[in-house]
Homo-oligomer: A and B are copies of this chain.
């Protein structure tokens, strides 16, 4: 069953962290805990949602297949992040598919349980809205990036997010393979390669899945500069 370490991660997730301990215990004890291999499907687009999912370890991608078979990556989640909240509570089909992109551990909270707890304590609804809002926000940010930035600039932002609040000069590991990064940023792997070489001119070195950023501010300027004057 579930290890204590996993439960600890689940408790820190955005979905659960603001809930009273009592409810969290109920949810954790009724949750389903599962491992997935790399490449395994967690659920498919159009399938009916029966649970909310919390990633405890590894990486999960949400993606959509267009009628032509092209795949558009919508988001990528890792430890402590949850998805499927808004869908699970409405008994509607998933708008996306979910797949493990590395070996991973996922906790599934059955939606009927969540619904019944919600009737007792409206605070749960607020918690769910909180994580749903976070997703909404990140989709909006992605839309802005796609519409207003070039490929290389999106890659720059992606790298900046990886080194987050670190001070100056920065080494980061790329969290998943370049094909997935390309999908997440809405470009082909070849374009990602070229974007990386372009970023060499603003002090970024890529070696395998390791990136060295010599000057974070310079990279930030590049990401936020007007695409037309470069």
- Complex interface: chain B residues within 8 A of A90 (CB): 126, 129-130, 133
Given contacts A68-B225, A225-B68, contact A132 B86 (CB under 8 A): yes
* Distance from A52 Cβ to chain B, minimum over Cβ atoms (Å): 12
Are A143 and B142 in contact (CB-based, < 8 A)?
Answer: yes
Task: Count copies of this chain in the complex.
Answer: 2
Q: Does A110 contact B (CB under 8 A)?
A: no
Are B148 and A68 in contact (CB-based, < 8 A)?
Answer: yes
The residue from B68, B125, B129, B186 contacting A146, defined by CB atoms under 8 A apart: B186
The residue from B125, B136, B137 contacting A118, defined by CB atoms under 8 A apart: B125
Q: Does A122 contact B (CB under 8 A)?
A: yes
Are A146 and B148 in contact (CB-based, < 8 A)?
Answer: no
- Since A90-B133, A125-B125 are in contact, a sample of 13 more A-B pairs with Cβ atoms closer than 8 Å, ordered by chain A residue number, is A64-B140, A64-B144, A69-B226, A72-B148, A74-B140, A89-B126, A95-B136, A115-B126, A118-B126, A122-B122, A125-B126, A128-B129, A136-B139
A residues neighboring B (CB under 8 Å): 64, 66-74, 85-87, 89-90, 92, 95-96, 115, 118-119, 122, 125-126, 128-130, 132-133, 135-137, 139-144, 146-149, 186, 224-227
